[in-house]
Chain A
C-alpha cells in the first residue's frame, strides 16, 4: 500500500469506515502520512502571515509552523491515547487496542484534512491582511471547525458501535470504500442523531465527552508551548517562546482588541 493513498483518505472522509474503525482496511500508515503532510500544509499557510505583515518578510515562520503542526497533532495523540484506551476499556466498550488507535488516527486525519483544505483561504487572508487579531481569530475558528467535525466522526462511530454480543450485522459488516457503503454508514448515523441516543452508548459518549475536554486541554496547552505559529508582526523570530501566559487569556485579549474594548 502506498504511503499517501488517496483512496484511504477519501474513503475515510466519505465515511467508509464510519461504522467501525476496527477494520484492517483502515490503513494506519496512510492515515499517519496524510495527517503529517496535511498538518504541515496548514502550518505553511499559517506562516504566510510573516511574509506580508512584517517589515521584512521572514520565511523562517513558514518552516517553523510547517514543522510544528504535525508535532502538535502527534504529540497530543501520544499524551492522551493511554487515557482514552483506559476510559473506553473501563466503560465496557468492545474495542481492541488497535481499534482505539485506528479511531484516534482517523479523527486526527479528519482534523488535519479539514484545516488543510481551508489552508488556501488562510494563506490568502494572511497575505492580504495586516491585522494580527483577525488572523488569530480566523485560525482559532478554523481549528475549532476541524476539531468539531473530527469529534463528531468519533462520537458517531462510537454511538454506532453496539456491545459485542448484540451486534447487528449491518454495523459489523466490513465497510468497503464504495459509494453505497458510505451512504448507508452516513444514513445510519443520521438516523441515530435524529432519534434519541440509545441508553447503552450514551454512557460511552459521556465518557468520551470527558476525554475530549482532556484532549482539548492537552492540545491547547501543547500548542501554547509550541508557539509562535503565526508570529506577531512586531515580535522577532524565535523557534519557541518559552512558558508564559495561557491560551484562553490570549484569545480573550485578541477578541477584546478586535472589538476595540482593550488594547
Chain B
C-alpha cells in the first residue's frame, strides 16, 4: 500500500505499513476476544470456544493471504500512478481491502454454517462478532492512519496531532452535509 508515490525518502512508510496492516487485524481481534468469550460462556456454548477461535483466526489468515496475493496488483497501480492521483490510489486500495474482506467473509460464512449446525446459538453470537469486529476495526484503521500516505504530508508512523474518533467524524460529515442540504435548499 505504501509503494504509492515511491521515492527513497518515503521508504519508512513501507516499513510502517508492514507493521500497521498486521497490527490492524491483530489488535482488533485481541480487543474483541475477551468479551466474545464471556458472551459465548454466558450463552452456554463456552465449550465450543476453541473451534470458534479457530474459525476467527482462520478468517484473519484468509484476509492476510488474499491481501498478499493482491499485493503485486496494488504495487503496480501504486507505482504507476502519478503523485497527483492520490485519491484514485486511495479508492483502489479501499476496493482491494473490501474485495479481500468479502471473499474471506464468504469462506467464513461457510465454515460458520458447520458450527451453527452443531449448535444454533452460535448464529447470533457470530453475527454479534461481525458487528463488534467491524466496530473496533473501523476505529482501529482510523487511528492507525496513514496507510498510503498523502504525498503532501510529512512522514509519520501515525498522523500527528491528537487521536480522533472515526464515528464522531462520520457523524460530523453527515451532519455537515445535512446542514448544508437543509440550510441552503
Interface residues of A (CB under 8 A from B): 10, 13-15, 52, 110, 113-114, 116-121, 124-125, 127-131, 134, 149, 153, 179, 182-183, 185-187, 190, 258, 260
Contacts and interface: CB of A to CB of B under 8 A. Distances in A.
Binding site secondary structure of chain A? helix
Nearest to A135: B165
Given A117-B37, A120-B34, A124-B136, A13 B163 contact: no
Q: Which A-B residue pairs are the 7 nearest by beta carbons?
A: A186-B44, A13-B41, A129-B165, A117-B38, A117-B34, A128-B163, A117-B35
A121 B168 contact: no
Contacts of B41: 10, 13-15
A119 B31 CA distance: 9
B150 interface: no
B136 A121 contact: yes
Given A128-B139, A128-B143, A182-B47, A52 B42 contact: no
B164 A130 contact: yes
Interface string B13-33: 000000000000001001110
Nearest to B140: A124
A64 to B, nearest CB: 23
Contacts of B44: 14-15, 182-183, 185-187, 190
Given A258-B171, A260-B175, A121 B165 contact: no
Contact of A121 (B31, B42, B47, B142): B31
B167 interface: yes
Main SS of the interface on chain B? helix
B42 A149 contact: yes
Question: Which residue among B37, B39, B44, B165 has the maximum number of chain A CB atoms within 10 Å of its CB?
Answer: B44
A39 to B, nearest CB: 14
Contact of B35 (A118, A153, A187, A260): A118
Contacts of B151: none
Contact of A129 (B34, B47, B140, B168): B168
A128 B164 contact: yes
Contact of A130 (B34, B39, B163): B163
A134 B165 CA distance: 8
A90 B167 CA distance: 49
A130 B162 contact: yes
B120 to A, nearest CB: 10
Interface size class of B (residues with CB under 8 A): 20 to 34
A53 B82 CA distance: 38
- Listed residue (A117, A183, A185, A187) with the most chain B CB atoms within 10 angstroms of its CB: A117
A179 B47 contact: yes
Interface of B: 27, 30-32, 34-35, 37-39, 41-44, 46-47, 132, 136, 139-140, 142-143, 162-165, 167-168, 171, 175
A113 B164 contact: no
A138 to B, nearest CB: 9
A113 B143 CA distance: 27
B163 A120 contact: no
A125 B140 CA distance: 9
Given A120-B30, A121-B31, A128-B143, A113 B38 contact: yes
B42 A131 contact: no
A80 B171 CA distance: 40
A182 B46 CA distance: 9
Contacts of B27: 124
B163 A127 contact: yes
B163 A129 contact: yes
A124 B42 contact: no
Contacts of A183: 44, 47
Contacts of A185: 44
Contacts of A124: 27, 31, 136, 139-140
Contacts of A125: 139, 165
A183 B121 CA distance: 12
Given A129-B164, A182-B44, 14 more contacts: A14-B44, A52-B163, A110-B42, A113-B38, A121-B35, A124-B31, A128-B163, A128-B164, A131-B168, A134-B168, A179-B46, A182-B46, A183-B44, A186-B43
